[in-house]
Structure 1
Amino acid sequence: MSKRGPYAKGSAKRHEILDRALEVIEREGYNSISAREIARESGLSQAGLLHYFKTKEELFVEVVRRRDDALFDEFDGRDPIETLVESVRRSADSPGLARLFAAVSVDSTDAQHPGHAYFAYRYARLRSRLAESVRDRQSRGEFSADRDPDAVAVALLALADGLRVLWLLDPTIDVVGRFMESWELMRRD
Protein backbone atom coordinates (compact mmCIF):
# COMPACT_ATOMS: atom_id res chain seq x y z
CA MET A 1 0.00 0.00 0.00
CA SER A 2 1.42 3.38 -0.95
CA LYS A 3 1.72 6.27 1.47
CA ARG A 4 -0.87 9.01 1.22
CA GLY A 5 -1.44 12.40 2.73
CA PRO A 6 0.99 14.96 4.12
CA TYR A 7 3.57 12.35 5.17
CA ALA A 8 3.82 11.02 1.61
CA LYS A 9 4.11 14.54 0.21
CA GLY A 10 6.78 15.41 2.77
CA SER A 11 8.72 12.24 2.01
CA ALA A 12 8.48 12.89 -1.73
CA LYS A 13 9.72 16.47 -1.25
CA ARG A 14 12.67 15.26 0.86
CA HIS A 15 13.62 12.86 -1.96
CA GLU A 16 13.29 15.65 -4.50
CA ILE A 17 15.52 17.93 -2.39
CA LEU A 18 18.13 15.18 -2.07
CA ASP A 19 18.04 14.54 -5.82
CA ARG A 20 18.50 18.27 -6.53
CA ALA A 21 21.31 18.45 -3.96
CA LEU A 22 23.09 15.51 -5.61
CA GLU A 23 22.80 17.22 -9.00
CA VAL A 24 24.04 20.57 -7.68
CA ILE A 25 26.97 19.00 -5.83
CA GLU A 26 27.96 16.99 -8.91
CA ARG A 27 27.75 20.12 -11.06
CA GLU A 28 29.13 22.78 -8.69
CA GLY A 29 31.20 20.78 -6.23
CA TYR A 30 30.87 20.50 -2.50
CA ASN A 31 32.95 23.42 -1.27
CA SER A 32 31.06 26.15 -3.08
CA ILE A 33 27.54 24.88 -2.44
CA SER A 34 25.18 26.65 -0.08
CA ALA A 35 21.93 25.59 1.52
CA ARG A 36 20.38 28.62 -0.18
CA GLU A 37 21.35 27.28 -3.62
CA ILE A 38 20.00 23.81 -2.86
CA ALA A 39 16.78 25.40 -1.61
CA ARG A 40 16.49 27.49 -4.78
CA GLU A 41 17.10 24.46 -7.01
CA SER A 42 14.38 22.64 -5.06
CA GLY A 43 11.89 25.45 -5.43
CA LEU A 44 12.07 26.41 -1.74
CA SER A 45 13.24 29.24 0.43
CA GLN A 46 16.08 28.56 2.82
CA ALA A 47 13.51 28.47 5.65
CA GLY A 48 11.49 25.96 3.60
CA LEU A 49 14.55 23.77 3.23
CA LEU A 50 15.07 23.85 7.00
CA HIS A 51 11.55 22.46 7.39
CA TYR A 52 12.80 19.21 5.82
CA PHE A 53 16.38 19.21 7.14
CA LYS A 54 17.25 20.85 10.47
CA THR A 55 20.81 21.74 9.46
CA LYS A 56 23.06 21.82 6.42
CA GLU A 57 25.05 19.00 8.05
CA GLU A 58 21.93 16.83 8.28
CA LEU A 59 21.15 17.56 4.63
CA PHE A 60 24.65 16.53 3.56
CA VAL A 61 24.50 13.30 5.59
CA GLU A 62 21.22 12.47 3.87
CA VAL A 63 22.76 13.22 0.46
CA VAL A 64 25.54 10.71 1.22
CA ARG A 65 22.97 8.19 2.46
CA ARG A 66 20.90 8.66 -0.73
CA ARG A 67 23.99 8.09 -2.87
CA ASP A 68 24.92 5.02 -0.83
CA ASP A 69 21.38 3.60 -0.99
CA ALA A 70 21.32 3.95 -4.78
CA LEU A 71 24.66 2.13 -5.09
CA PHE A 72 23.72 -0.62 -2.64
CA ASP A 73 20.33 -1.11 -4.33
CA GLU A 74 21.98 -1.33 -7.74
CA PHE A 75 24.52 -3.87 -6.51
CA ASP A 76 22.17 -5.82 -4.24
CA GLY A 77 23.09 -9.49 -4.39
CA ARG A 78 26.48 -8.83 -5.99
CA ASP A 79 29.81 -9.34 -4.35
CA PRO A 80 30.54 -6.65 -1.72
CA ILE A 81 34.09 -6.25 -2.98
CA GLU A 82 32.76 -5.50 -6.49
CA THR A 83 30.42 -2.96 -4.92
CA LEU A 84 33.32 -1.31 -3.09
CA VAL A 85 35.36 -1.15 -6.30
CA GLU A 86 32.40 0.42 -8.11
CA SER A 87 32.05 2.94 -5.28
CA VAL A 88 35.71 3.93 -5.73
CA ARG A 89 35.24 4.14 -9.51
CA ARG A 90 32.20 6.40 -9.17
CA SER A 91 34.05 8.66 -6.76
CA ALA A 92 36.56 9.34 -9.51
CA ASP A 93 33.67 10.31 -11.81
CA SER A 94 32.23 12.82 -9.33
CA PRO A 95 34.79 14.87 -7.43
CA GLY A 96 32.10 17.00 -5.77
CA LEU A 97 30.44 13.98 -4.22
CA ALA A 98 33.84 12.47 -3.33
CA ARG A 99 34.72 15.67 -1.41
CA LEU A 100 31.33 15.67 0.27
CA PHE A 101 31.76 12.03 1.33
CA ALA A 102 35.26 12.65 2.67
CA ALA A 103 34.21 15.73 4.64
CA VAL A 104 31.00 14.28 6.05
CA SER A 105 32.58 10.95 6.98
CA VAL A 106 35.36 12.68 8.91
CA ASP A 107 32.95 15.11 10.60
CA SER A 108 30.74 12.16 11.54
CA THR A 109 33.45 10.72 13.77
CA ASP A 110 32.19 13.24 16.35
CA ALA A 111 29.47 11.47 18.34
CA GLN A 112 27.40 14.70 18.34
CA HIS A 113 27.38 15.03 14.54
CA PRO A 114 24.05 14.22 12.82
CA GLY A 115 25.83 11.63 10.66
CA HIS A 116 27.54 9.71 13.46
CA ALA A 117 24.93 6.94 13.77
CA TYR A 118 24.63 6.50 10.02
CA PHE A 119 28.37 6.23 9.41
CA ALA A 120 28.84 3.86 12.35
CA TYR A 121 26.09 1.66 10.89
CA ARG A 122 27.43 2.04 7.33
CA TYR A 123 30.94 0.93 8.21
CA ALA A 124 29.78 -1.91 10.45
CA ARG A 125 27.52 -3.18 7.66
CA LEU A 126 30.27 -2.92 5.04
CA ARG A 127 32.87 -4.54 7.29
CA SER A 128 30.53 -7.45 7.96
CA ARG A 129 29.69 -7.97 4.29
CA LEU A 130 33.30 -7.67 3.15
CA ALA A 131 34.50 -10.11 5.84
CA GLU A 132 31.82 -12.59 4.78
CA SER A 133 32.94 -12.25 1.16
CA VAL A 134 36.53 -13.00 2.19
CA ARG A 135 35.34 -16.05 4.19
CA ASP A 136 33.43 -17.29 1.13
CA ARG A 137 36.55 -16.92 -0.99
CA GLN A 138 38.60 -18.72 1.64
CA SER A 139 36.15 -21.63 1.66
CA ARG A 140 36.51 -21.91 -2.13
CA GLY A 141 40.31 -21.73 -1.94
CA GLU A 142 40.39 -18.34 -3.74
CA PHE A 143 41.89 -16.43 -0.84
CA SER A 144 44.68 -17.22 1.56
CA ALA A 145 43.27 -19.13 4.53
CA ASP A 146 45.75 -17.54 6.94
CA ARG A 147 44.27 -14.06 6.53
CA ASP A 148 41.83 -12.73 9.13
CA PRO A 149 38.65 -11.83 7.16
CA ASP A 150 37.75 -9.03 9.58
CA ALA A 151 41.22 -7.48 9.26
CA VAL A 152 41.00 -7.73 5.46
CA ALA A 153 37.60 -6.01 5.53
CA VAL A 154 38.98 -3.12 7.59
CA ALA A 155 41.99 -2.86 5.27
CA LEU A 156 39.75 -2.77 2.18
CA LEU A 157 37.61 0.04 3.63
CA ALA A 158 40.69 2.01 4.67
CA LEU A 159 42.19 1.47 1.23
CA ALA A 160 39.04 2.64 -0.58
CA ASP A 161 38.61 5.75 1.57
CA GLY A 162 42.33 6.57 1.53
CA LEU A 163 42.51 6.24 -2.24
CA ARG A 164 39.56 8.61 -2.60
CA VAL A 165 41.39 11.24 -0.56
CA LEU A 166 44.65 10.71 -2.44
CA TRP A 167 42.77 11.04 -5.74
CA LEU A 168 41.20 14.31 -4.56
CA LEU A 169 44.74 15.58 -3.92
CA ASP A 170 46.16 14.11 -7.16
CA PRO A 171 43.60 13.23 -9.86
CA THR A 172 46.26 11.43 -11.91
CA ILE A 173 46.13 8.50 -9.48
CA ASP A 174 44.36 5.49 -10.96
CA VAL A 175 42.28 4.69 -7.89
CA VAL A 176 40.64 1.58 -9.29
CA GLY A 177 43.96 0.24 -10.57
CA ARG A 178 45.66 0.87 -7.23
CA PHE A 179 42.74 -0.73 -5.38
CA MET A 180 42.85 -3.86 -7.56
CA GLU A 181 46.64 -4.15 -7.22
CA SER A 182 46.34 -3.98 -3.44
CA TRP A 183 43.47 -6.49 -3.47
CA GLU A 184 45.60 -8.93 -5.44
CA LEU A 185 48.45 -8.52 -2.95
CA MET A 186 46.07 -9.30 -0.08
CA ARG A 187 44.84 -12.45 -1.82
CA ARG A 188 48.27 -14.01 -2.21
CA ASP A 189 49.57 -16.71 0.11
Structure 2
Amino acid sequence: MTTKTGDEARTGPRRRGPYAKTAAVRTAILDAALDVFGESGYRSGSLREVADRVGMSEAGVLHHFPNKNALLADVLDRRDLRSYAIVPKEGSDGEATLRGLVRLADYNATVPGIVKLFAVLSTEATSSDHPAHAYFVTRYETTRSYLRAAFSSLMAQGRVREGVTPERAAIATIAMMDGLQVQWLLEPGLLDMGAQLRRFLESFVDIDLGDPARGGA
Protein backbone atom coordinates (compact mmCIF):
# COMPACT_ATOMS: atom_id res chain seq x y z
CA MET A 1 0.00 0.00 0.00
CA THR A 2 1.31 3.46 -0.89
CA THR A 3 1.05 6.38 1.47
CA LYS A 4 0.53 10.05 0.65
CA THR A 5 3.24 12.57 1.27
CA GLY A 6 2.52 15.52 3.54
CA ASP A 7 1.91 17.81 0.56
CA GLU A 8 -0.44 15.32 -1.09
CA ALA A 9 -2.38 14.83 2.13
CA ARG A 10 -2.91 18.57 2.44
CA THR A 11 -3.69 19.43 -1.16
CA GLY A 12 -5.16 16.23 -2.58
CA PRO A 13 -4.13 14.52 -5.81
CA ARG A 14 -1.92 16.74 -7.91
CA ARG A 15 -3.73 15.75 -11.10
CA ARG A 16 -6.60 18.09 -10.23
CA GLY A 17 -4.57 21.06 -11.45
CA PRO A 18 -4.75 20.22 -15.16
CA TYR A 19 -8.49 19.52 -14.87
CA ALA A 20 -9.11 22.92 -13.32
CA LYS A 21 -7.01 24.54 -16.03
CA THR A 22 -8.93 22.69 -18.74
CA ALA A 23 -12.25 23.85 -17.28
CA ALA A 24 -11.00 27.44 -17.21
CA VAL A 25 -9.89 27.24 -20.85
CA ARG A 26 -13.24 25.78 -21.92
CA THR A 27 -15.06 28.57 -20.11
CA ALA A 28 -12.88 31.20 -21.81
CA ILE A 29 -13.59 29.63 -25.22
CA LEU A 30 -17.34 29.56 -24.55
CA ASP A 31 -17.35 33.21 -23.49
CA ALA A 32 -15.39 34.17 -26.60
CA ALA A 33 -17.73 32.15 -28.82
CA LEU A 34 -20.72 33.83 -27.21
CA ASP A 35 -19.28 37.21 -28.16
CA VAL A 36 -18.30 36.17 -31.69
CA PHE A 37 -21.61 34.47 -32.51
CA GLY A 38 -23.51 37.35 -30.92
CA GLU A 39 -21.67 39.92 -33.04
CA SER A 40 -21.44 38.08 -36.36
CA GLY A 41 -23.99 35.26 -36.15
CA TYR A 42 -23.13 31.57 -36.21
CA ARG A 43 -22.56 31.29 -39.95
CA SER A 44 -20.27 34.32 -40.22
CA GLY A 45 -18.51 33.92 -36.88
CA SER A 46 -15.47 31.69 -37.31
CA LEU A 47 -13.49 29.41 -35.05
CA ARG A 48 -10.46 31.49 -35.99
CA GLU A 49 -12.10 34.57 -34.45
CA VAL A 50 -12.92 32.61 -31.31
CA ALA A 51 -9.36 31.31 -31.10
CA ASP A 52 -7.88 34.78 -31.56
CA ARG A 53 -9.92 36.15 -28.67
CA VAL A 54 -8.56 33.59 -26.25
CA GLY A 55 -5.02 33.79 -27.60
CA MET A 56 -4.77 30.27 -28.93
CA SER A 57 -4.76 28.41 -32.23
CA GLU A 58 -7.84 27.08 -33.99
CA ALA A 59 -6.45 23.58 -33.36
CA GLY A 60 -6.36 24.45 -29.67
CA VAL A 61 -10.07 25.29 -29.72
CA LEU A 62 -10.80 22.01 -31.52
CA HIS A 63 -8.92 20.16 -28.80
CA HIS A 64 -11.69 21.19 -26.39
CA PHE A 65 -14.65 21.16 -28.82
CA PRO A 66 -14.63 18.66 -31.72
CA ASN A 67 -16.28 21.04 -34.18
CA LYS A 68 -18.13 24.34 -34.52
CA ASN A 69 -21.55 22.72 -34.04
CA ALA A 70 -20.45 21.22 -30.72
CA LEU A 71 -19.16 24.61 -29.61
CA LEU A 72 -22.50 26.23 -30.48
CA ALA A 73 -24.42 23.58 -28.55
CA ASP A 74 -22.35 24.23 -25.43
CA VAL A 75 -22.72 28.00 -25.82
CA LEU A 76 -26.50 27.61 -25.89
CA ASP A 77 -26.41 25.29 -22.89
CA ARG A 78 -24.31 27.84 -21.01
CA ARG A 79 -26.88 30.53 -21.77
CA ASP A 80 -29.74 28.32 -20.58
CA LEU A 81 -28.01 27.44 -17.32
CA ARG A 82 -27.87 31.12 -16.44
CA SER A 83 -31.61 31.44 -17.09
CA TYR A 84 -32.45 28.35 -15.02
CA ALA A 85 -30.69 29.91 -12.06
CA ILE A 86 -33.17 32.81 -12.16
CA VAL A 87 -36.50 31.33 -13.27
CA PRO A 88 -38.01 28.28 -11.48
CA LYS A 89 -37.52 25.11 -13.51
CA GLU A 90 -41.15 24.05 -13.01
CA GLY A 91 -44.11 26.22 -13.97
CA SER A 92 -46.43 24.79 -11.31
CA ASP A 93 -45.98 27.88 -9.11
CA GLY A 94 -47.38 30.51 -11.43
CA GLU A 95 -46.57 33.56 -9.36
CA ALA A 96 -42.97 32.46 -8.76
CA THR A 97 -42.60 31.83 -12.49
CA LEU A 98 -43.81 35.28 -13.49
CA ARG A 99 -41.62 36.97 -10.89
CA GLY A 100 -38.71 34.93 -12.22
CA LEU A 101 -39.38 36.14 -15.75
CA VAL A 102 -39.23 39.77 -14.61
CA ARG A 103 -35.95 39.08 -12.80
CA LEU A 104 -34.63 37.41 -15.95
CA ALA A 105 -35.51 40.47 -18.03
CA ASP A 106 -33.64 42.62 -15.51
CA TYR A 107 -30.65 40.27 -15.65
CA ASN A 108 -30.63 40.26 -19.46
CA ALA A 109 -30.19 44.03 -19.42
CA THR A 110 -26.79 43.44 -17.78
CA VAL A 111 -25.57 40.95 -20.41
CA PRO A 112 -26.10 42.50 -23.86
CA GLY A 113 -23.82 39.92 -25.49
CA ILE A 114 -26.07 37.06 -24.43
CA VAL A 115 -29.20 38.93 -25.53
CA LYS A 116 -27.67 39.67 -28.92
CA LEU A 117 -26.57 36.07 -29.33
CA PHE A 118 -30.12 34.85 -28.74
CA ALA A 119 -31.65 37.42 -31.09
CA VAL A 120 -29.19 36.70 -33.90
CA LEU A 121 -29.25 32.91 -33.59
CA SER A 122 -33.03 32.61 -33.22
CA THR A 123 -33.42 34.50 -36.50
CA GLU A 124 -30.73 32.50 -38.31
CA ALA A 125 -32.19 29.25 -36.98
CA THR A 126 -35.48 29.73 -38.83
CA SER A 127 -33.58 28.06 -41.67
CA SER A 128 -34.12 24.31 -41.31
CA ASP A 129 -30.49 23.52 -42.14
CA HIS A 130 -29.10 25.71 -39.36
CA PRO A 131 -27.38 23.65 -36.62
CA ALA A 132 -29.46 25.39 -33.93
CA HIS A 133 -32.81 24.92 -35.72
CA ALA A 134 -33.88 21.90 -33.67
CA TYR A 135 -32.70 23.58 -30.47
CA PHE A 136 -34.90 26.64 -31.01
CA VAL A 137 -37.93 24.62 -32.14
CA THR A 138 -37.66 22.53 -28.97
CA ARG A 139 -36.92 25.56 -26.82
CA TYR A 140 -40.05 27.41 -27.93
CA GLU A 141 -42.22 24.31 -27.56
CA THR A 142 -40.87 23.76 -24.06
CA THR A 143 -41.25 27.41 -23.07
CA ARG A 144 -44.86 27.55 -24.29
CA SER A 145 -45.67 24.43 -22.29
CA TYR A 146 -43.89 25.83 -19.23
CA LEU A 147 -45.79 29.12 -19.37
CA ARG A 148 -49.12 27.40 -20.05
CA ALA A 149 -48.59 25.48 -16.82
CA ALA A 150 -47.80 28.70 -14.95
CA PHE A 151 -50.89 30.53 -16.21
CA SER A 152 -53.06 27.42 -15.72
CA SER A 153 -52.04 27.25 -12.06
CA LEU A 154 -52.94 30.92 -11.64
CA MET A 155 -56.25 30.40 -13.44
CA ALA A 156 -57.11 27.61 -11.00
CA GLN A 157 -56.51 30.13 -8.20
CA GLY A 158 -58.80 32.68 -9.84
CA ARG A 159 -55.91 35.08 -10.45
CA VAL A 160 -56.09 35.30 -14.27
CA ARG A 161 -58.10 38.17 -15.70
CA GLU A 162 -61.31 37.53 -17.58
CA GLY A 163 -60.90 36.58 -21.22
CA VAL A 164 -57.29 35.44 -20.84
CA THR A 165 -56.42 31.81 -21.62
CA PRO A 166 -53.19 30.06 -20.62
CA GLU A 167 -52.36 29.35 -24.28
CA ARG A 168 -52.86 32.95 -25.37
CA ALA A 169 -50.93 34.30 -22.39
CA ALA A 170 -48.02 31.91 -22.98
CA ILE A 171 -47.62 32.82 -26.65
CA ALA A 172 -48.00 36.54 -25.99
CA THR A 173 -45.46 36.50 -23.15
CA ILE A 174 -42.80 34.89 -25.34
CA ALA A 175 -43.51 37.37 -28.13
CA MET A 176 -43.31 40.27 -25.68
CA MET A 177 -39.97 39.17 -24.21
CA ASP A 178 -38.40 38.60 -27.62
CA GLY A 179 -39.75 41.89 -28.96
CA LEU A 180 -38.51 43.86 -25.96
CA GLN A 181 -35.03 42.38 -26.42
CA VAL A 182 -34.82 43.46 -30.06
CA GLN A 183 -35.98 47.00 -29.28
CA TRP A 184 -33.55 47.21 -26.37
CA LEU A 185 -30.66 46.00 -28.53
CA LEU A 186 -31.42 48.63 -31.15
CA GLU A 187 -31.62 51.43 -28.58
CA PRO A 188 -30.50 50.32 -25.08
CA GLY A 189 -31.66 53.49 -23.31
CA LEU A 190 -35.14 53.35 -24.83
CA LEU A 191 -36.84 51.09 -22.32
CA ASP A 192 -36.58 49.10 -19.10
CA MET A 193 -37.22 45.49 -20.13
CA GLY A 194 -38.08 44.31 -16.62
CA ALA A 195 -40.55 47.13 -15.99
CA GLN A 196 -42.23 46.73 -19.37
CA LEU A 197 -42.57 42.98 -18.94
CA ARG A 198 -43.98 43.40 -15.43
CA ARG A 199 -46.70 45.76 -16.66
CA PHE A 200 -47.51 43.42 -19.51
CA LEU A 201 -47.87 40.37 -17.25
CA GLU A 202 -50.02 42.34 -14.81
CA SER A 203 -52.49 42.91 -17.65
CA PHE A 204 -53.02 39.12 -17.66
CA VAL A 205 -53.02 38.34 -13.95
CA ASP A 206 -54.35 39.90 -10.77
CA ILE A 207 -50.93 40.04 -9.09
CA ASP A 208 -48.72 42.98 -8.18
CA LEU A 209 -45.35 41.90 -9.58
CA GLY A 210 -43.55 45.03 -8.41
CA ASP A 211 -40.19 44.48 -6.72
CA PRO A 212 -39.48 46.87 -3.86
CA ALA A 213 -35.75 46.47 -4.54
CA ARG A 214 -36.19 48.15 -7.92
CA GLY A 215 -38.68 50.73 -6.70
CA GLY A 216 -41.72 48.95 -8.12
CA ALA A 217 -40.73 50.28 -11.55
Instruction: Write the mapping of 1:94-105 to structure 2, written as runs, cut at 5 A.
Output: 94-105=111-122
Q: Secondary structure at 1:187's aligned position in 2?
A: coil
Structure 1 pair 157/113, CA: closer, same or farther in 2 (3 Å)? Answer: same
Name the CA distance, whole Å, in 2 between partners of 1:144 and 1:46.
55
Q: From the superposition, tell whether residues 127 and 94 of structure 1 become closer, same or farther in structure 2 (CA, over 3 Å).
A: same
> Any unmatched runs of 5+ in structure 1?
1-8
> Which amino acid is 1:81 matched to?
L
Aligned counterpart in structure 1 of residue 89 of structure 2, from 73, 76, 85: 76
Q: Name the CA distance, whole Å, in 2 between partners of 1:14 and 1:113.
A: 28
SS of residue paired to 2:109? helix
The normalised TM-score by structure 2 is 0.68
Deviation at 1:146, TM superposition (A): 3.1
Contact 1:71–1:87 at 8 Å: present in 2 too? yes
Task: Kindly indicate whether residue 72 of structure 2 is the aligned counterpart of residue 54 of structure 1.
Answer: no
For normalisation by structure 1, the TM-score amounts to: 0.76
Count of residues paired in the alignment: 177
Structure 2 Cα separation of the partners of residues 50 and 167 of structure 1: 34
Distance 1:61 1:46 in 2: 18
Query: Contact 2:34 / 2:117 at 8 angstroms: preserved in 1?
Result: no
Distance 1:28 1:46, change over 3 A: closer
In structure 2, the residue matched to 1:148 is 165
Runs of 4 or more consecutive aligned structure 1 residues displaced over 6 Å after TM superposition: 25-29
Pick the structure with greater CA Rg.
2
Long gaps (5+) in structure 2: 1-17, 207-217
1:167 to 164, 181, 184: 184
Amino acid at match of 1:30: G
| Corresponding letter in the other structure for 1:171 | P
| Higher relative helix content | 1
User: Among 92, 99, 108, which residue is 1:91 paired with?
Assistant: 108
Give the drift of 1:142: 1.1
1:13–1:83 distance in 2 versus 1, CA, 3 Å: farther
